[in-house]
Amino acid sequence: MFFRMLLRSLRLRQSHSLVAMLAIVVAAAVSTALLNLYADLDAKLTREFRRFGANVLVVAREGKPLPSDVIDRVQGVLTQVTARPVTAVPAAYVIARSSSGEPVVVAGIDVASARSVNGWWQVAGKWPLHPNEALLGKRAAEAFGVGPLSLSYGTHEHTFTSVGTLNTGGPEDSRIYVHLEELRNWTGVAPTLVEASVSGTPEQVNAGIKQLAKAMPEAEVRPIRQVAEAETTVLGKTRSVLFLSTALISVLVALCVLATLSASVLERRRDFAVMKALGSSQRSLNAVFLAEAMLLAGAGGLVGYAVGCALSAWIGHANFHAVVTPRLEVFPMVIMSSLVIAFIGASLPLLRLQKIEPAAMLRGD
Amino acid sequence: MFLRLVYQSFLRQRRRKLLAGIAIALGMTIATAMIAVGMDVGDRMNQELRAYGANIVVYPQEDTLDVQVGGVNLKPATAGAYLQESDLPKLKHIFWGHNILGFSPMLPGTVDVNGATTSIIGTYFAKPIPVNPEDVFITGVRKTHKWWNVRGEWPQDDSTDVLAGRRLAESWQIIPGQSVVINGERHRVSGILESGAEEEDALVAPLSLVQRLTGQTGKVRSLFVSALTKPEDDFARRDPRSMSPEVLERWSCSPYANSIAYQIMQALPGAHAEQIRQVAQNEGVLLARISGLMLLITLSALAAAVLAISAAMAASVLERRTEIGIMRSLGANTTVIAGLFVLEASMLAVAGGILGFAAGTLLAQMIGNRVFSSTISVEPVLLPFILLLSLVITWLGSAAAIRRGLRFSPAAILRGELV
């Protein structure tokens, strides 16, 4: 009997049910999408932050070279702490003299990893691929011109071929970049510095730095503050703006749905009165109306969750060119709040209707 | 008669109207707050991104190469060219002067401390620069190098106090407040500087002091400029030298890092200005991502508000089919009935829109205060837009339901067949 009443009510009042469900679907969808985005924000933004390059520096202490397996150890420890891939760039610097006797900084780097970390390096020409090739900073290139470049370090001479010009607007513009191995063959200088690009929240990166400092007491490990501090600020602000927007939109849409649902239950005072006049108990009446509202809310929440996941995936694709994976923990939150809203939306008017005599209601007062 | 009907309807069915009105007001609150926040977030984030520091560097055109490794600049003090300190206020007079949030001159040199040669950097900390008689601009590393952290106190720009870099202070074992002897003069170390970069191996002092100690009066080696810029696009990358006068004007009138650098070069004789690509390029991308995210969220919120209001309106009209039936059986023609409903809906829309606009403005300001510690102003221009949006949504939301109600024969509706 109960179920027949429920089903008939839903079927006969199809358009009413659909409209009420639409309201719930909209609220559930937009909340799901925002919660998914909020949960994924750290991962997405910290990835974007890595465009700014390295954020951790490992420097050899005075007079002690870095151990030969430094790259593996840096990557190993940092990956373990942050659970994300880490790129480490070893580097060595020497001051050499050009054929005219002018001092110039020559940096030996691992070209492939430097290229992937320093995305903003603008290279005209080619990156050095072969041992004897060099990348000249813009100001260095202006000073030395193109063609073979002979440099001396102490008594050792070496000739490089300039294959590209580097423009950064930073100190790199005054330097000459060559392969690390070639620099070592020429000058015997081993890497003294490793720059690592670690994605992860500022807290994770700090934990990684602490861990690494403990694992490598022979070197100094420190964050690149310019990058790290700005990241903390920007991530924090974005997080709060998104959090407040999510809260605001979810709460207001929920209230909006609450108003719609209350109105639609209130409108059925006639049904309510007729059933009561026919001898139905208050409890079974409440049960029918509540069950109807909850059924709509459950279905609406389900559809809304699916629509919301699609919406967040689309936003992630359109804005970050990456997928925002639907969060499973959002699902119970959304379904539960849909049910709670439906419950409140139906019980408030029911409480009012209880106090009114069926006869008065049917007369139209 | 028509007006009396509307009036009566509002008077008699207050609760029903109230709930639909609340739904509209809530929806419009979302719309107002999110449009205001979404439109403003780009500018706010651009300000926050200045935490990455200077995005334009200026050095003398004729300068020789920097020979700088690990903070020690090995370039001979006599080599290279200099900028004139007296030219610096000109920066604020360029077309985009207001977008220049701060600049710090740098003058590196070496001094003798207890017989050891030590690097010293002269700069502004928070120096007031008179731009014009009634406007004083405060600038220095505290604005452009926000990640510099000082234990102790920052020196005054007109004092002879100095900052000691962290590693230098560790090796000398000094604490803030102690003195060091620089070139035979006693100077108080007011604080220890933590910058995470090469400055930790040097002394940092007011520019005027370093100019005196190194004998470079009125000179500056380089200049870091922090400017609010517009993310770079294809147009920004074009070479100003190859542009026609009209295109050049349009290019100069956009605050790209390149065009600000170009204007700085024209304002400072003998200077070369360049964007610091690590900061300038990347912050543009980051800014685009964050404001893009907020834009899409604003659009979703708008769509949600639209649908929620439509649902509320449709529900409220659907419930009144009996009324439509009675009116029609009493001889009202469909135009009058539709007019009645539309007029009612419009009044609700306007009332809800105004309420929503007011509430949304408050919420946007709350978000601005909470997150950015500054108010997000809602343009009054937004009000007519919100009202129009509210009207259109309520009309659309009720239109379908009204048409459905009018399509059925009044007898069927009144018998209850369709309820």
Give A80-128 pLDDT, tens digit per residue: 888 888 999 999 988 898 888 888 899 999 999 999 999 889 999 999 9
**How far is it, in rounded angstroms, from Cα B253 to Cα A68?**
53
**How far is it, in rounded angstroms, from Cα B304 to Cα A129?**
54
What is the 3-state secondary structure of B346-397? HHHHHHHHHHHHHHHHHHHHHHHHHHHCCCCCCCCCHHHHHHHHHHHHHHHH
pLDDT of residue B11: 64
Minimum-distance CB partner of B318 among A15, A27, A320: A15
pLDDT of residue B419: 45
Instruction: Say if CB A76 and CB A216 are below 8 A apart.
Output: no
Q: Which residues in chain B have Cβ-Cβ distances shorter than 8 Å to A266?
A: 15-16, 19
Tell me if B69 and A95 make a contact (CB, 8 A cut-off): yes
Q: How confident is the model at residue A134 (pLDDT cuts 50, 70, 90)?
A: very high
Q: Which residues in chain B have Cβ-Cβ distances shorter than 8 Å to A248?
A: 30, 33-34, 363, 367
B255: DSSP letter: -
Look at the block and give the residue holding tokens 């003069």: B185
**How far is it, in rounded angstroms, from Cα B247 to Cα B253?**
10
pTM of the shown model: 0.84
What is the 3-state secondary structure of chain A? CHHHHHHHHHHHCHHHHHHHHHHHHHHHHHHHHHHHHHHHHHHHHHHHHHHHCCCEEEEECCCCCCCCCHHHHHHHHHHHHHCCCEEEEEEEEEEEEECCCCEEEEEEECHHHHHHHCCCCEEEECCCCCCCEEEEEHHHHHHHCCCEEEEEECCEEEEEEEEEEEECCCHHHHEEEEEHHHHHHHHCCCCCEEEEEECCCHHHHHHHHHHHHHHCCCEEEEECHHHHHHHHHHHHHHHHHHHHHHHHHHHHHHHHHHHHHHHHHHCCHHHHHHHHHCCCCHHHHHHHHHHHHHHHHHHHHHHHHHHHHHHHHHHHHHHHCCCCCCCCCHHHHHHHHHHHHHHHHHHHHHHHHHCCCHHHHHHCC
Minimum-distance CB partner of A238 among B274, B277, B290: B290
Q: Which residue has the higher pLDDT, A365 or B264?
A: B264
CA distance A210 to chain B (A): 15
**How far is it, in rounded angstroms, from Cα A234 to Cα A202?**
11
Instruction: Say if CB A219 and CB A62 are below 8 A apart.
Output: no
Q: What six digits make up the tokens of B235?
A: 């147009």
**How far is it, in rounded angstroms, from Cα B295 to Cα B41?**
9
Tell me if B309 and A104 make a contact (CB, 8 A cut-off): no
pLDDT of residue B385: 92
B402: DSSP letter: H
CA B399 distance to own-chain centroid? 41
pLDDT of residue A170: 86
Start-to-end CA span in chain A (Å) = 30
CA B327 distance to own-chain centroid? 56
Q: Which residues in chain A have Cβ-Cβ distances shorter than 8 Å to B305?
A: 253, 256
Of A314, A313, A347, which Cα lies nearest the Cα of A330? A313
Radius of gyration of chain A (CA): 33
Amino acid at B409: S
CA distance A259 to chain B (A): 5
Tell me if A263 and B19 make a contact (CB, 8 A cut-off): yes
Tell me if B23 and A228 make a contact (CB, 8 A cut-off): no
pLDDT of residue A99: 84
Strand A156-167, strand A133-137: pairing: parallel
Mean pLDDT of chain A: 87
Q: Which residues in chain A have Cβ-Cβ distances shorter than 8 Å to B316?
A: 263
Q: Is B186 helix (H, G, I), strand (E, B) or coil?
A: strand
Low-confidence ranges of chain B (pLDDT < 50): 419
CA distance A232 to chain B (A): 10
CA torsion sign for B56, B57, B62, B66 is: negative
Minimum-distance CB partner of B274 among A12, A169, A226: A169
pLDDT of residue A197: 92
Of B15, B17, B14, which Cα lies nearest the Cα of B341? B17
Q: Which residue of A has its CA nearest to B40?
A: A241
Please provide the size of chain A in residues.
365
Minimum-distance CB partner of B48 among A27, A49, A234: A234
Tell me if A26 and B304 make a contact (CB, 8 A cut-off): yes
Q: Which residues in chain A have Cβ-Cβ distances shorter than 8 Å to B63?
A: 139
- Mutating which of A11, A19, A66 best tests the B interface, going by the most B Cβ atoms within 10 A? A19
Instruction: Say if CB A286 and CB A293 are below 8 A apart.
Output: no
Query: Cβ-count burial of B124 within 10 angstroms (0-12 exposed, 13-18 middle, 19+ buried)?
Result: buried
Minimum-distance CB partner of B197 among A48, A118, A226: A226
Task: Tell me the HSE value of B272 on the side-chain side, using a 13 A CA sphere.
Answer: 14
Please state the ipTM of this predicted complex.
Answer: 0.84
At A193-225, the pLDDT tens digits run 899 999 888 888 999 999 999 998 888 898 888
- Mutating which of B278, B322, B370, B372 best tests the A interface, going by the most A Cβ atoms within 10 A? B278
At A178-198, the pLDDT tens digits run 999 999 999 888 888 899 999
**How far is it, in rounded angstroms, from Cα A350 to Cα A266?**
8
| Cα separation values, A310 from A30, A245, A303, B31, B180, Å | 10, 19, 11, 22, 65
Give the residue-averaged pLDDT of A128-147: 88
CA B224 distance to own-chain centroid? 21
pLDDT of residue A353: 80
pLDDT of residue A303: 95
Minimum-distance CB partner of A103 among B67, B292, B308: B67
Minimum-distance CB partner of A260 among B49, B57, B311: B311
**How far is it, in rounded angstroms, from Cα A305 to Cα A30?**
9
Q: Which residues in chain A have Cβ-Cβ distances shorter than 8 Å to B405?
A: none
Instruction: Say if CB B207 and CB B105 are below 8 A apart.
Output: yes
Query: Cβ-count burial of A303 within 10 angstroms (0-12 exposed, 13-18 middle, 19+ buried)?
Result: middle
For helices B334-367 and B2-12, what crossing angle results, to 10°?
A: 50
CA distance B3 to chain A (A): 23
pLDDT of residue B361: 93
